[in-house]
Amino acid sequence: MMAPNMKDVAKRAGVGLGTVSRVINTPHKVSPPTRLKVEKAIKELGYYSNEIARTLKTRNTRNVALVLPSIWHPFFSGFAYYIENYLDEQNYRLMLCNSDGKPDKEVYYLEMLKEKKVSGIIAITYNQIDDHISSDLPIISFDRHFKDDVTCVTSDNLKGGEIAAKTLHETGAKKLAYVGTINNRIDSEVKYRRIGFENYVKAHGIDHFIYTVEDPIRDYDAFLDTFFKRHNDREGVFVENDNLAKKLIKKAETLNIKIPEQLKVIGYDGVEETEFFEPKLTTIKQPLEAMAKASVEALIRIIETGPKVERIVLPVELKQGKST
């Protein structure tokens, strides 16, 4: 009545325990006749090997935690989708961990590594948790660096910022602005979007303004309101991410500013989240799938062959919409 185990299979097939294990893990090391006997017994008993017991021996749970603020955000759910796909391809499974951006939850999930609940972690975190991260742990960090460096995967934020500035300028916007956040608590890669933008406008002597507030934004409406009040002469604006860009466009509409005639807008992310948004947003598209693939591959490399710190930067591209 109880689920059969390997011993039951061995008995039924009239072979030793090890032979059954070999049929399952290294079938080529078993002679065809014995293999057949064992496979027959497995089928007859409806045997499934117990992953828990295997893991106790092999020490690899084949579980990976994806720690992120909230799966309920299109960018993250798209990322999670691809991560799960690539993990599954390598016979790994994805543990979903919503941190809500809270430091204690981020740490809490990182501890799963110690309890052997997972073999590795892909982390998208926004708090000061450097003490819990170390370069010999199987951790991939997304879009950020830690004191003790770990492998980091990002899109080419610097280039993205440059492309945005270039595009705005070349489509006729003379007075530009960057709208986004700054984060003094952690070493986020997102800042390079601004730096890339600045590099370009400075190199070309373009009139520009950097409009930022400390992350996270508490009051979007006030933030955007002030922007338009103080800088209503801008003709092109590069916004830190698509979500904020859309809010900015909606705000502009209430002020009767025509997009793109009076104001050109470029966002950053490029996830197909809102087929219904109008005007279709011009944006710097992150290679979501490639980033997921790179994250998974780097992590599994670490899990299976030991620590190795890399810095993986993937190319972005301009996705033309109707907002420029």
116 lies in the site for a copy of itself, by CB under 8 A: yes
1 lies in the site for DNA, by CB under 7 A: no
Which of DNA, a copy of itself, none does residue 70 bind (CB under 5 to 8 Å by kind)? a copy of itself
- Which two structure tokens, joined as six digits, stand for 240? 């830190």
Closer to DNA by CB, 24 or 314: give it: 24
Residues 6+ apart with CB under 8 A from 270: 242, 283, 284, 285, 286, 288, 319
Give least dist CB 234 to a copy of itself, A.
Answer: 22
CA neighbor of 224 nearest in space, from 182, 266, 260, 179: 179
Interacting positions 46-105 with DNA (CB under 7 A): 49-50, 53-54, 56-58
Question: Considering CB under 7 A, how many residues would be counted as binding DNA?
Answer: 29
51 lies in the site for a copy of itself, by CB under 8 A: yes
Residue 149 C-beta-side C-alpha neighbours within 13 Å:
8
Q: Choose the binding region for DNA from 27-35, 102-110, 216-224, 244-252 (rule: CB under 7 A).
A: 27-35
Which of a copy of itself, DNA, none does residue 15 bind (CB under 5 to 8 Å by kind)? DNA
**One-letter-per-residue 3-state SS of 272-305:** CCCCCCCCCCEEEECCHHHHHHHHHHHHHHHHHH
What DSSP designation does 256 have?
A: T
7 lies in the site for DNA, by CB under 7 A: yes
55 lies in the site for a copy of itself, by CB under 8 A: yes
The 3-state DSSP class for residue 158 equals helix
44 lies in the site for a copy of itself, by CB under 8 A: no
12 lies in the site for DNA, by CB under 7 A: no
The 3-state DSSP class for residue 51 equals helix
43 lies in the site for DNA, by CB under 7 A: no
Closer to DNA by CB, 6 or 206: give it: 6
Q: Which of 6, 201, 249, 266 binds DNA (CB under 7 A)?
A: 6
The 3-state DSSP class for residue 63 equals strand
Interacting positions 73-112 with a copy of itself (CB under 8 A): 73-74, 77-78, 80-81, 84-85, 93-98, 111-112
Any idea what the Cα angle at residue 61 is, between residues 137 and 25, rounded to 5°? 125
147 lies in the site for a copy of itself, by CB under 8 A: no
How far is it, in rounded angstroms, from Cα 318 to Cα 315?
Answer: 10
| Strands 317-319 and 311-314, bridge-based pairing | unpaired
Q: Is 30 exposed, middle or buried (0-12, 13-18, 19+ CB in 10 A)?
A: buried
Q: Which positions touch DNA (CB under 7 A)?
A: 2-3, 5-7, 14-22, 24-25, 29-31, 33-35, 49-50, 53-54, 56-58
Q: Which positions touch a copy of itself (CB under 8 A)?
A: 3, 48-53, 55-56, 61, 63, 66, 70-74, 77-78, 80-81, 84-85, 93-98, 111-112, 114-117, 246, 250, 274, 276-277
